Amino acid sequence: MELWKTLLNTAIERSNISAVASELGYSRTTISLVHSGRYPGETRHVERRIYEVYSRVECPFTGGEISIMQCAERACGEAPTSSPMALKHWMACQRCSRRPEMDQEGKQA
């Protein structure tokens, strides 16, 4: 099962579909259809929002908590050239054991 589906299932089990929909900023109907696998459209925006809200990791570089999407975007993005601190952070991400892999579409692999 894909990670975003596991995160969604866990969130729903902890509370209910209505509460999760509210936290994600979507209607109860949308989340219910996505959860049941019957959503007729693309789910990539819902997937991204699920990662943003429910998937958190501790960043060894900053010592703070960030979303898995923020982690992936920094680690898998281009090396920043405008700030020495941003470049140090990016370089640390390249060696990090928590570094997520991204596919060509920017989705977590």
Q: What is the pLDDT of residues 22-57, one digit of tens each?
A: 999 999 999 999 999 999 999 999 999 998 899 888
- Say how many Å lie between the first and final Cα of the chain, rounded: 12
Diameter of the chain by CA atoms? 47
**Domain closes at, from 38, 54, 70:** 54
pTM score of the predicted model: 0.62
Total domains in the chain come to 2
**What is the percent of the chain where pLDDT is above 70?**
92
Residues listed for the chain: 109
Residue 106 included in any domain: no
Write out the residue range of the structural domain in which residue 89 sits: 56-101
